[in-house]
Protein backbone atom coordinates (compact mmCIF):
# COMPACT_ATOMS: atom_id res chain seq x y z
CA UNK A 1 0.00 0.00 0.00
CA UNK A 2 2.81 2.39 0.89
CA UNK A 3 4.62 1.61 -2.35
CA UNK A 4 1.44 2.17 -4.36
CA UNK A 5 1.04 5.66 -2.90
CA UNK A 6 4.61 6.57 -3.79
CA UNK A 7 4.11 5.21 -7.29
CA UNK A 8 0.92 7.21 -7.75
CA UNK A 9 2.57 10.44 -6.63
CA UNK A 10 5.53 9.79 -8.90
CA UNK A 11 3.15 9.44 -11.83
CA UNK A 12 1.24 12.61 -10.97
CA UNK A 13 4.25 14.85 -10.36
CA UNK A 14 5.40 16.44 -13.58
CA UNK A 15 7.64 19.13 -12.19
CA UNK A 16 9.27 19.88 -8.84
CA UNK A 17 10.44 23.36 -7.90
CA UNK A 18 9.11 24.70 -11.19
CA UNK A 19 7.00 27.79 -10.73
CA UNK A 20 6.23 27.05 -7.06
CA UNK A 21 8.70 28.40 -4.53
CA UNK A 22 8.85 27.93 -0.76
CA UNK A 23 11.27 30.40 0.84
CA UNK A 24 11.22 28.88 4.33
CA UNK A 25 13.58 25.88 4.33
CA UNK A 26 13.04 25.59 8.12
CA UNK A 27 10.31 26.97 10.32
CA UNK A 28 10.39 26.72 14.14
CA UNK A 29 7.28 27.29 16.25
CA UNK A 30 6.47 26.65 19.88
CA UNK A 31 3.81 24.18 20.94
CA UNK A 32 0.27 25.66 20.80
CA UNK A 33 1.41 28.48 18.49
CA UNK A 34 0.25 29.00 14.89
CA UNK A 35 2.57 27.85 12.11
CA UNK A 36 2.32 29.70 8.79
CA UNK A 37 4.01 27.98 5.83
CA UNK A 38 4.27 30.13 2.73
CA UNK A 39 4.34 29.29 -0.95
CA UNK A 40 4.58 31.63 -3.95
CA UNK A 41 3.79 31.03 -7.59
CA UNK A 42 4.96 32.61 -10.81
CA UNK A 43 1.38 32.58 -11.94
CA UNK A 44 -1.55 33.67 -9.87
CA UNK A 45 -3.38 31.02 -7.91
CA UNK A 46 -6.97 30.49 -8.90
CA UNK A 47 -9.55 32.18 -6.71
CA UNK A 48 -9.25 30.76 -3.23
CA UNK A 49 -6.51 28.39 -4.34
CA UNK A 50 -9.05 26.13 -5.99
CA UNK A 51 -6.40 23.76 -7.43
CA UNK A 52 -3.83 24.09 -4.65
CA UNK A 53 -3.09 21.40 -2.05
CA UNK A 54 -0.64 20.80 0.79
CA UNK A 55 1.18 17.50 1.50
CA UNK A 56 3.29 16.47 4.46
CA UNK A 57 6.03 13.83 4.61
CA UNK A 58 7.57 12.29 7.73
CA UNK A 59 10.15 9.56 8.29
CA UNK A 60 8.69 6.12 7.63
CA UNK A 61 5.36 7.47 6.40
CA UNK A 62 3.83 7.91 2.97
CA UNK A 63 3.14 11.49 1.81
CA UNK A 64 -0.12 12.64 3.39
CA UNK A 65 -2.61 15.11 1.98
CA UNK A 66 -3.06 17.72 4.70
CA UNK A 67 -5.30 20.28 3.04
CA UNK A 68 -7.22 20.86 -0.18
CA UNK A 69 -7.54 24.59 -0.40
CA UNK A 70 -10.82 24.21 -2.31
CA UNK A 71 -12.70 22.80 0.69
CA UNK A 72 -13.63 24.28 4.04
CA UNK A 73 -13.16 21.16 6.15
CA UNK A 74 -11.32 21.25 9.46
CA UNK A 75 -10.56 24.95 9.10
CA UNK A 76 -10.21 25.26 12.86
CA UNK A 77 -6.99 23.22 12.62
CA UNK A 78 -5.60 23.95 9.12
CA UNK A 79 -6.57 26.62 6.63
CA UNK A 80 -5.42 27.91 3.25
CA UNK A 81 -4.95 31.63 2.82
CA UNK A 82 -4.65 32.67 -0.83
CA UNK A 83 -3.48 36.15 -1.80
CA UNK A 84 -2.73 36.47 -5.49
CA UNK A 85 0.63 34.82 -6.14
CA UNK A 86 1.04 33.79 -2.51
CA UNK A 87 -0.45 30.82 -0.71
CA UNK A 88 -0.17 30.20 3.04
CA UNK A 89 -0.97 27.09 5.04
CA UNK A 90 -1.93 28.03 8.61
CA UNK A 91 -1.71 25.30 11.27
CA UNK A 92 -3.43 26.42 14.46
CA UNK A 93 -2.52 25.11 17.92
CA UNK A 94 0.52 23.31 16.49
CA UNK A 95 1.69 20.13 18.26
CA UNK A 96 4.78 17.96 18.03
CA UNK A 97 3.11 15.51 15.65
CA UNK A 98 2.58 18.38 13.19
CA UNK A 99 6.34 18.44 12.55
CA UNK A 100 7.42 17.33 9.09
CA UNK A 101 8.22 18.55 5.58
CA UNK A 102 5.34 20.40 3.91
CA UNK A 103 4.96 20.79 0.14
CA UNK A 104 2.57 23.11 -1.63
CA UNK A 105 1.19 21.73 -4.87
CA UNK A 106 -0.83 23.00 -7.77
CA UNK A 107 -2.59 20.83 -10.31
CA UNK A 108 -3.11 21.11 -14.00
CA UNK A 109 -5.50 18.51 -15.43
CA UNK A 110 -4.08 15.33 -13.82
CA UNK A 111 -0.56 16.56 -13.10
CA UNK A 112 0.80 18.00 -9.87
CA UNK A 113 3.58 20.52 -9.45
CA UNK A 114 5.38 20.49 -6.10
CA UNK A 115 7.24 23.25 -4.34
CA UNK A 116 10.71 22.69 -2.88
CA UNK A 117 9.38 21.99 0.64
CA UNK A 118 9.50 23.61 4.08
CA UNK A 119 10.46 21.72 7.23
CA UNK A 120 8.26 22.55 10.20
CA UNK A 121 9.70 21.86 13.66
CA UNK A 122 7.24 22.17 16.54
CA UNK A 123 8.65 22.32 20.07
CA UNK A 124 12.07 20.94 21.00
CA UNK A 125 13.59 18.00 19.11
CA UNK A 126 16.42 17.54 21.62
CA UNK A 127 16.35 14.49 23.93
CA UNK A 128 18.65 13.09 26.62
CA UNK A 129 20.17 10.72 24.05
CA UNK A 130 20.91 13.39 21.43
CA UNK A 131 24.46 13.94 20.17
CA UNK A 132 26.16 15.49 17.15
CA UNK A 133 29.21 14.00 15.42
CA UNK A 134 31.06 15.37 12.34
CA UNK A 135 32.68 12.83 10.00
CA UNK A 136 35.59 13.86 7.78
CA UNK A 137 37.73 11.98 5.23
CA UNK A 138 41.18 10.76 6.17
CA UNK A 139 44.16 12.40 4.42
CA UNK A 140 44.96 9.14 2.62
CA UNK A 141 41.48 8.92 1.07
CA UNK A 142 41.64 12.26 -0.72
CA UNK A 143 42.02 12.09 -4.49
CA UNK A 144 43.25 15.44 -5.75
CA UNK A 145 42.00 17.29 -7.74
CA UNK A 146 38.63 16.06 -6.46
CA UNK A 147 36.22 16.74 -3.68
CA UNK A 148 36.22 15.99 0.01
CA UNK A 149 33.02 14.49 1.42
CA UNK A 150 31.98 15.38 4.97
CA UNK A 151 28.96 14.34 6.99
CA UNK A 152 27.27 15.50 10.17
CA UNK A 153 25.41 12.84 12.18
CA UNK A 154 22.64 13.93 14.55
CA UNK A 155 21.49 11.02 16.71
CA UNK A 156 18.60 10.49 19.08
CA UNK A 157 16.16 13.30 18.26
CA UNK A 158 12.38 13.26 18.47
CA UNK A 159 11.62 15.47 15.44
CA UNK A 160 13.43 17.07 12.48
CA UNK A 161 16.33 19.43 13.14
CA UNK A 162 18.00 22.15 11.11
CA UNK A 163 21.50 21.24 9.93
CA UNK A 164 23.79 23.71 8.16
CA UNK A 165 27.51 24.10 7.46
CA UNK A 166 29.81 27.10 7.59
CA UNK A 167 33.35 27.38 6.24
CA UNK A 168 35.39 29.50 8.65
CA UNK A 169 32.18 31.33 9.51
CA UNK A 170 31.69 32.67 5.97
CA UNK A 171 29.91 30.37 3.55
CA UNK A 172 26.69 28.67 4.54
CA UNK A 173 25.84 25.28 3.08
CA UNK A 174 22.67 23.27 3.73
CA UNK A 175 23.88 19.98 2.28
CA UNK A 176 21.79 16.89 1.59
CA UNK A 177 20.02 15.30 4.55
CA UNK A 178 19.01 11.67 4.94
CA UNK A 179 17.09 10.27 7.86
CA UNK A 180 16.33 6.93 9.47
CA UNK A 181 14.57 5.68 12.55
CA UNK A 182 16.54 3.92 15.32
CA UNK A 183 15.35 0.85 17.22
CA UNK A 184 14.25 2.97 20.20
CA UNK A 185 12.00 5.05 17.95
CA UNK A 186 14.26 8.13 17.86
CA UNK A 187 15.42 9.73 14.61
CA UNK A 188 18.91 9.89 13.13
CA UNK A 189 19.81 12.53 10.53
CA UNK A 190 22.89 12.45 8.32
CA UNK A 191 23.74 15.65 6.46
CA UNK A 192 26.30 15.38 3.67
CA UNK A 193 28.30 18.06 1.86
CA UNK A 194 31.10 18.01 -0.71
CA UNK A 195 33.80 20.68 -0.84
CA UNK A 196 36.86 21.05 -3.08
CA UNK A 197 39.94 19.30 -1.76
CA UNK A 198 41.79 22.63 -1.84
CA UNK A 199 39.19 24.12 0.51
CA UNK A 200 39.38 21.16 2.89
CA UNK A 201 43.20 21.04 2.98
CA UNK A 202 43.56 24.82 3.35
CA UNK A 203 43.16 24.56 7.12
CA UNK A 204 39.76 26.25 7.27
CA UNK A 205 37.26 25.11 9.87
CA UNK A 206 34.13 23.43 8.58
CA UNK A 207 31.47 23.73 11.24
CA UNK A 208 28.31 21.67 11.49
CA UNK A 209 25.56 23.77 13.08
CA UNK A 210 22.47 21.97 14.46
CA UNK A 211 19.35 23.75 15.74
CA UNK A 212 16.85 21.73 17.76
CA UNK A 213 14.25 24.38 18.68
CA UNK A 214 13.20 28.01 18.31
CA UNK A 215 15.49 29.29 21.09
CA UNK A 216 18.10 30.38 18.54
CA UNK A 217 20.81 28.35 20.28
CA UNK A 218 22.55 25.58 18.41
CA UNK A 219 25.15 22.85 18.79
CA UNK A 220 28.31 23.45 16.78
CA UNK A 221 30.87 20.77 15.91
CA UNK A 222 34.07 21.55 13.99
CA UNK A 223 35.76 19.32 11.42
CA UNK A 224 39.39 20.23 10.72
CA UNK A 225 41.90 18.81 8.26
CA UNK A 226 44.89 17.06 9.86
CA UNK A 227 47.86 16.66 7.55
CA UNK A 228 49.10 13.09 7.22
CA UNK A 229 52.70 12.24 8.15
CA UNK A 230 54.31 8.96 7.15
CA UNK A 231 56.78 9.18 10.03
CA UNK A 232 54.24 10.11 12.66
CA UNK A 233 53.29 6.58 13.72
CA UNK A 234 56.96 5.49 13.96
CA UNK A 235 57.97 8.53 15.97
CA UNK A 236 55.07 8.11 18.35
CA UNK A 237 55.80 4.44 18.93
CA UNK A 238 59.51 5.11 19.48
CA UNK A 239 58.68 7.09 22.62
CA UNK A 240 57.29 3.93 24.21
CA UNK A 241 59.94 1.41 23.11
CA UNK A 242 62.67 2.36 25.66
CA UNK A 243 60.37 2.38 28.72
CA UNK A 244 58.80 -0.92 27.69
CA UNK A 245 62.19 -2.61 27.22
CA UNK A 246 63.49 -1.26 30.55
CA UNK A 247 60.37 -2.37 32.36
CA UNK A 248 60.51 -5.85 30.83
CA UNK A 249 64.18 -6.22 31.84
CA UNK A 250 63.48 -5.14 35.42
CA UNK A 251 60.57 -7.54 35.68
CA UNK A 252 62.72 -10.42 34.37
CA UNK A 253 65.45 -9.61 36.92
CA UNK A 254 62.98 -9.59 39.82
CA UNK A 255 61.46 -12.92 38.75
CA UNK A 256 64.92 -14.51 38.37
CA UNK A 257 66.06 -13.39 41.82
CA UNK A 258 62.85 -14.68 43.36
CA UNK A 259 63.35 -18.12 41.82
CA UNK A 260 66.99 -18.28 42.95
CA UNK A 261 66.05 -17.20 46.48
CA UNK A 262 63.35 -19.88 46.64
CA UNK A 263 65.18 -22.81 45.04
CA UNK A 264 68.85 -22.16 45.84
CA UNK A 265 69.24 -19.80 48.80
CA UNK A 266 72.78 -20.96 49.57
CA UNK A 267 74.06 -19.58 46.30
CA UNK A 268 73.27 -16.09 47.50
CA UNK A 269 75.35 -16.47 50.72
CA UNK A 270 72.46 -17.37 52.97
CA UNK A 271 72.11 -20.59 54.91
CA UNK A 272 68.78 -22.26 55.07
CA UNK A 273 66.95 -21.68 58.27
CA UNK A 274 67.12 -24.67 60.68
CA UNK A 275 63.92 -25.45 62.40
CA UNK A 276 64.11 -25.82 66.19
CA UNK A 277 63.97 -29.43 67.35
CA UNK A 278 60.75 -30.54 68.90
CA UNK A 279 60.43 -30.26 72.65
CA UNK A 280 61.04 -33.46 74.63
CA UNK A 281 58.84 -34.47 77.51
CA UNK A 282 59.46 -36.78 80.48
CA UNK A 283 57.03 -38.04 83.09
CA UNK A 284 58.38 -38.91 86.55
CA UNK A 285 56.12 -39.52 89.53
CA UNK A 286 53.38 -37.27 88.21
CA UNK A 287 55.80 -34.44 87.45
CA UNK A 288 56.20 -33.27 83.85
CA UNK A 289 59.66 -32.16 82.73
CA UNK A 290 60.06 -30.26 79.46
CA UNK A 291 63.30 -29.39 77.66
CA UNK A 292 63.21 -26.65 75.00
CA UNK A 293 66.24 -25.87 72.81
CA UNK A 294 66.31 -22.47 71.06
CA UNK A 295 68.60 -21.70 68.18
CA UNK A 296 69.70 -18.13 68.43
CA UNK A 297 72.47 -16.06 66.97
CA UNK A 298 74.44 -13.27 68.58
CA UNK A 299 75.56 -10.15 66.76
CA UNK A 300 78.65 -11.96 65.36
CA UNK A 301 76.52 -14.59 63.71
CA UNK A 302 77.56 -17.39 66.09
CA UNK A 303 75.02 -19.86 67.22
CA UNK A 304 74.32 -19.97 70.93
CA UNK A 305 72.52 -22.89 72.58
CA UNK A 306 70.42 -22.05 75.59
CA UNK A 307 68.85 -25.04 77.26
CA UNK A 308 65.58 -24.25 78.91
CA UNK A 309 64.47 -26.26 81.83
CA UNK A 310 60.95 -26.82 82.77
CA UNK A 311 59.77 -26.00 86.26
CA UNK A 312 58.46 -28.74 88.47
CA UNK A 313 54.97 -28.40 89.63
CA UNK A 314 53.85 -30.07 92.79
CA UNK A 315 50.63 -31.98 92.57
**Strand-pair partners of 280:** 291
Encode pLDDT of 232-269 as tens digits.
Answer: 444 455 455 555 555 665 666 555 656 555 655 555 55
CB 32 within 8 A of CB 52: no
Cα–Cα distances in angstroms (integers) from residue 82 to residues 29, 49, 120, 158, 186, in the given order: 22, 6, 20, 32, 36
**Strand-pair partners of 41:** 20
- Segment 92-97 shows an average pLDDT of 96
Encode pLDDT of 193-230 as tens digits.
Answer: 998 888 888 888 899 999 999 998 999 999 988 875 44
Q: Is the pLDDT of residue 191 over 60?
A: yes
Q: What percent of the chain has pLDDT over 90?
A: 38
Encode pLDDT of 115-160 as tens digits.
Answer: 999 999 999 999 999 999 999 988 777 765 688 899 999 999 999 9
Q: Say which range, 51-55, 91-95, 263-267, has the weakest mean pLDDT.
A: 263-267
Of the candidates 214, 165, 155, 164, the one whose C-alpha atom is nearest the C-alpha of residue 188 is 155
pLDDT at 21: 92
CB proximity list for 164: less than 8 A, separation 6 or greater: 172, 173, 174, 175, 208, 209
Encode pLDDT of 167-177 as tens digits.
Answer: 887 766 678 89
What CA–CA distance (Å, rounded) separates 39 from 23?
A: 7
Of the candidates 206, 201, 193, the one whose C-alpha atom is nearest the C-alpha of residue 228 is 201
Say whether the peptide bond before residue 4 is cis (omega within 30 degrees of 0). Answer: no
Amino acid sequence: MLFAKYLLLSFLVVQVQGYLHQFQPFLFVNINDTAKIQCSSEKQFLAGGMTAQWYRTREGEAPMLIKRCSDNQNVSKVACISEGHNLTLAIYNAQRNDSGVYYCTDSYIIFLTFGNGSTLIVGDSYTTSSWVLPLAPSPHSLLSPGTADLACVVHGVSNPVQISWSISGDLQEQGLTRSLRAKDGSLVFINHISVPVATWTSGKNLTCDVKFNSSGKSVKKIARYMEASSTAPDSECSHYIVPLVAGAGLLLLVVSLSLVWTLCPSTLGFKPRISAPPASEEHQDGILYTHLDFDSRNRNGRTMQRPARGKSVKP
